Structure 1
């Protein structure tokens, strides 16, 4: 067996095109997902069981079913209903790109909401009591105390969720999108070099993941800089 290095170099620009689409899917899905996750988490952390019921059902469904099934339900399932085809949403739902964005966003929103909910409940009660003693309204407390503290607590776990989304984005190729995995499969169909192409694609995923991990660590140090300051002080 001979290793076809020349094939990797020849198709490397095409693989980078797929990698850019993968990054685009992860970025927009992560952004939309965190926007959806915040109100879901606040509702889940509420003492009102009515407010908790709807996000609980949503989170239970998206955490309990495979991401691939969710992609197929949105991409293939929406086309089965005439009311969807006749609606203004059809130009979006008929495109595999937007279906992948929707599926990834809804999926990561469910996981992120549970992470944020746990972080909210991990905030020391003393901090909330001090906020109430200072006369803060509930909205001000959420904006200035609860959300900043919860993001600081949840950030390490949320970075792992985005890394999982990076790897899960490979499923976009199942609905004809030429992301990194989809591009590799297309090249393999032309060159019959599966080992070389999947190795190259795997190395690209590894590089992207390494860069993301480095960025997350820098952001974590900035978000939780007061904790690192205390740690540095205690070590002196």
Structure 2
């Protein structure tokens, strides 16, 4: 184990950590934007619940690597994609800030973000739907008795209660998305694993790059687990989820990070 070359490559790994965290946070955020209407529609059997159900089924039923390949390599095979705004910013935006940040399918980074967001959105939709399903009916009836309309009940009571109950699963999803982000390295993105591969290729070594990458992923995962333990302790204590059990038989709860219920 050559620690000298690892220290020399530390700026490369630091950049990889930033890219990994940046991609993961954005994918989780965009995934939540997708998951919110999907979960509400699935829970309430809304007008488009079959469409959302098909979306969730497809993206949960296929590997993230295949989804990334289809978006990065597959869409570029269509002439109409390469000649449309999907392939780059319109000409009149050249030289502007909007043109610089325009999402383009010829960019590996944007393709990875799209694939990760759609994948995470499907999983988050199921997580949130599960949270919505276990909200006690008494909470909703109490809100209605106070004169709240259906929209207010959903916004002020149903969603906050569901999100609180779904916290452990959201922690699992963050860890899953963090680990799944290694897929980005196969489409030329220099994330943590990409930095490890570069180190191995540059110095003709077999283990140093991969072991350093593994250590960084473990450190980030530990930090996520620790933060969610604190959050769960703060917001889930009164729900008796994992943190509190009545005397006698264990109380049913939601499996979460503390129970190592990772996918």
TM-score (norm. length: structure 1): 0.91
The Cα RMSD (Å) is 1.8
- Is residue 2:4 matched to residue 1:6? yes
Q: Deviation string for 1:50-100 (max 9, x for gaps)?
A: 432011100000000010000011111121222222222212111000111
Q: For residues 89-117 of structure 1, what are the alpha-carbon distances to aligned partners after superposition, in whole Å with 9 as ceiling and x for unaligned?
A: 21211100011111001001100100100
Structure ranking higher in helix proportion = 1
Return the alpha-carbon distance in structure 2 between the equivalents of residues 135 and 53 of structure 1.
Answer: 32
Structure 1 counterpart of 2:176:
164
Q: Distance in 2 between matches of 1:60 and 1:47?
A: 16
Map 1:1-236; keep pairs closer than 5 Å: 3-48=1-46, 50-91=47-88, 92-224=104-236, 226-227=238-239
User: Normalized against structure 2, the TM-score is what?
Assistant: 0.82
Whether the 8 Å CA contact 2:196–2:208 is kept in 1: the answer is: no
Query: By how many angstroms is 1:227 displaced?
Result: 4.5
Q: Hey, what's the Cα distance between the residues in 1 that align with 2:239 and 2:126?
A: 24
Runs of 4+ in 1 over 4 A off after TM superposition: 225-228
Listed one character per residue, the Cα deviations across residues 136-161 of structure 1 (whole Å, up to 9, x for unaligned) are 11111111011100000001111111
- Give me the whole-angstrom Cα distance separating, in 1, the residues matched to 2:78 and 2:149: 45
Which consecutive unaligned segments of at least 5 residues does structure 2 have? 89-103, 248-263
Q: Contact 2:195–2:209 at 8 Å: present in 1 too?
A: no
SS of 1:45 mapped into structure 2: helix
Greater length-normalized contact order (CA 8 Å, ≥ 6 residues apart)? 1
Q: Report the Cα offset of residue 223 of structure 1.
A: 3.6
Distance 2:67 2:3 in 1: 37
Q: How big is the shift at 1:219?
A: 2.8
- Once the two structures are TM-superposed, the CA of residue 204 in structure 1 deviates from its matched residue by 0.6
Residue 225 (structure 1) shift: 5.9
For residues 3-48 of structure 1, what are the alpha-carbon distances to aligned partners after superposition, in whole Å with 9 as ceiling and x for unaligned?
2121111112211211111011111001111111111000110134
Gaps of 5+ in 1: none
In structure 2, distance between residues paired with 1:227 and 1:121: 15
How far 1:221 moved relative to its partner?
3.4
In structure 2, how many angstroms separate the alpha carbons of the residues matched to 1:223 and 1:98?
35
Q: Whole-Å Cα distance in 2 between the matches of residues 11 and 86 of structure 1?
A: 40
